Structure 1
Amino acid sequence: MSVKAFKLVSAVEREMLMGDKNFINIECIECCGKNLYIGTNDCFIYHFMLDEKVSTAGKITFAATKQLHKYLGLKKPVSELKAASALTRLLVLCDNTITLVNMINLEPVPTGARIKGAVTFTLNENPVSGDPFCVEVCIISVKRRTIQMFMVFEDRVQIVKEVFTPEQPCAVAVDGYYLCLALTTQYIILNYNTGVSQDLFPYCSDEKRPIVKRIGRQEFLLAGPGGLGMFATVDGISQRAPVHWSENVIGAALCFPYVVALDDEFITVHSMLDQQQKQTLPFKEGHILQDFEGKVIVATNKGVYILVPLPLEKQIQDLLASQRVEEALVLAKGARRNIPKEKFQV
């Protein structure tokens, strides 16, 4: 039995992005408030404003208005985008270099500040510096078995730490001083301040894409062996039972109380409260699934969609109507404990 927890709504259709140019593909996305940024394989960044509209019947749609697009001039794909709204900066990874651009006009900062030699990067959402006018950036370096930590300001960058790993890292998430790393054969937690590391569990990155996602303070979600979505704290323990994914999950996102996963055919929704699968949405050719401040966005090579959560009160009413009282109680209890009252009420 399923719960209708989310509805899939189109946000940016292919005509808005590429017209009749079939060779253009979406490589990455970033969303900050109403600002949606899309990086493409032909070295462009597109900026859209997303407006949510609610009909009298309660149906939610999104209207995307294109603001501008910018060619980076490198003839390489834009690999990753991350917004640093406090600095009005967008961090852009292209050709192993992270460039700082203005979030509004997409122009590079006049100082030309950049981080070179990055394979991938992430932001520390639980920063340790205490400076509100800087963001902490963690990169997997092109140097073998090397992680680097940077402080990024409005117009300059500063390296603060270089950490060597026992194997080649291929994915990373950060919380405070803790790095959660997918290495070649295992996941580990590494405190980059003390150098102390903790093995989590084995994993073969050659066979499957690793997933490492920070889901809350000192807690991560990982793609484990046997198609399991595993939870791990910075102490190397799991406080929740795993969720059962398919073997070929390529992305995961969090929208409490749900964990959302993407494979090559479906979007699946599991509850973090009882680990049960609650919803399956057919979705072919998806390759990006991310959450941004509670907004879950999924994309194919050609279009962007938003998973709109149904009000929890409606979900609880539907469960009760289906005589699934126990599930309704678990959801109501979990929702009231973890979600602000105004979000819970319709």
Structure 2
Amino acid sequence: MTPPATRVFFAGGGTGGHLYPGLAIARALVRQAPHVEPHFIGARRGIERDVLPTTEFGYTLLDLHPLYRQAPWRNWRTIVGAVGAWRAISTLAAPSTPRAVIGTGGYAAGVALAWGRAHGVPTMLHEPDSHPGLTTRTFAKGAKTLFLGFPEAESRLTAGGNTQVMPLGCPIEPPPATPRSRAEARRLWGLPEQAFVVLVVGGSQGARALNEVVAAWTQQGLPEGVAVIWATGKQQAAAYLDREADMVRVRPYLAPIADAYAAADLAVTRAGAMTIAELCAWGIPALLVPLPSAAQDHQTHNAQAIQASGAARYVPQRDFTVASLDATVRSLQDDRSALATMHQAALTRARPGAAAEIAKSVIMTLGLDAVGIG
């Protein structure tokens, strides 16, 4: 007999780092417990506005706002939006109370978590970063479970006496069971098999600071034997597409990115939690240049944590120059032992099965019927 449908609310968004983990967990949850019906609650002004309509899940977008720390007089919008959102969530839950509210961070999660807490619905949190955000810090104490992307985050949280803390990693699309060989991936990119391949990725929107340095670096002349796969970001692509050359491949965006990962010796990226999780899963040494304006400087904390593990080198944006990039690439190109050590350290941090493990924990904690757990 098929179990009755079980509703689970997912709340989070504003940025991809708070939305995509929720989607990965929801999909793993449905694979293991097909009767579960995830429903996403997000903000009308966040990335979820564009992403959720393309998914298989039900969703509700609300007039949610962050706390305006630099312009506190605008917080009336936050208060009014929260009141309206509370009513909307109550209406949404009226036909069937959810079994849990799973928050994945960001301002879009707070009201739903508060609603769940007030109505006796178990709340669970996933925190992707090493420095927990405001939402996680606020709701950690009463949560049923805290899922952490970085184990370092636990020391910055006050969990409740009955809260499970599980550093299971960030839910990502894991590498394929049999990825392309490095040689095959490089043939696909039209690059020499023996090249030292540097992958530069600044996210879907790109990172202007990274792009400007890489553009100047390629113009000055790459070190002998070095090749670059460079994702500029869609909005910045027009300014850099003409930099394509024998040893330089320029793309607006890499989707899927697997063949670029398979070809890379070194990645130069921002330090978002999801990016780091993917690099570790692929065992790719990295040069991490955190976004200085990231909330609570969380990317710097991420980069420092991964550097401490030996998997990456952290470079503040102010120090990321053509000279420093060129020197780092040359040193690693000539020191394959150091590169191998970083590779192994990255794999040690990797949790490619995080989504499945988190879903399994949710199912067991809530006592749901499941199939295919493993």
TM-score norm. by structure 2 comes to: 0.25
Structure 1 or 2, whichever has the larger Rg, is 2
Structure that is richer in strand per residue:
1
TM-score norm. by structure 1 comes to: 0.27
